[in-house]
Amino acid sequence: MRRVLGFLRGVYGLSIPLDVEDAVERIVGFLRSYVRGSGMGGVVIGLSGGLDSSVACALSVRALGPSRVHGLIMPDTRVTPAEDVEDAKMLAEMLGIEYHITPIDGVYDCFSHAMSFYSQGADTANANLRARIRMVILYYYANLKRLLVCGSSDKSEIMLGYFTKYGDGAADILPLGDIYKTQVRRLARALGLPSRIAEKPSSPRLLPGQLAEEELGARYDEIDQVLYLHFERGLPLGEVERMTGISREKINMIVARVRANEHKRGLPPMPKIR
């Protein structure tokens, strides 16, 4: 399965290098070693039917075996497309893992009815509430079964801060944390995941009709080039613009988002006493 993809100009600009076989081996080795060292029985993953959670699940099964990987499918029927639930079920059955479908509609409604200050139109707060409800359920299940919560955020999302703090950003391990979104798609193909999952447009599915690239204002192939060239390779923004052909306005927007969301990537600040 050895496939080395170089940093070459193509249809979508520049392709970030990735030795797919090495990446798979490293992630599988990490998962196997970390779970063994933790003394826990395996991992639980929130399965959305999307790219990242599917790849994280497939890698976990390769590392631990299907009996030690569990999946929770947690739709809110008002915002989760039925095909996403079907894709998540298809993946779980294809990999042979135990899975449970746990709709969160009722839990969300309990929160909304309990809060006198709940606002139907507060899209960001309501989207984050759904993500945090799912994480509470994942950790409950993990405690019940002596498992670790395996997160599915990738490097692009982490750098951009495109996740819910203490929601989908909360996890015990992040196997895709050093893999850019476009690289995750390559892993999906190499792992033999169905094309309808490997090629599915990215979306947190926290609001009706939500699509990541529309919300971010750039395609992931553009975002990843900027993240890799500027933050990883240290190239000046002007050079990034020259190499990629991406507009300076879009580059500035991506860089600004990374810097504005720095607070999401660390522990809460605290005063120094000694």
Distance CA 11, CA 197 (A): 22
User: At which residue do the structure tokens 């306005």 appear?
Assistant: 249
139 C-beta neighbours (distance < 10 Å), count = 16
What is the 3 state secondary structure string of 227-256?
Answer: HHHHHHCCCCHHHHHHHHCCCHHHHHHHHH
List pLDDT tens digits, range 217-255: 999 999 999 999 999 999 999 999 999 999 999 999 999
Mean local confidence (pLDDT), 151-155:
97
pLDDT tens readout for residues 115-125? 999 999 999 99
Instruction: Provide the percentage of residues in the chain whose pLDDT is more than 70.
Output: 95
Q: Which domains does the chain have, with CATH numbers?
A: 4-210 (3.40.50.620)
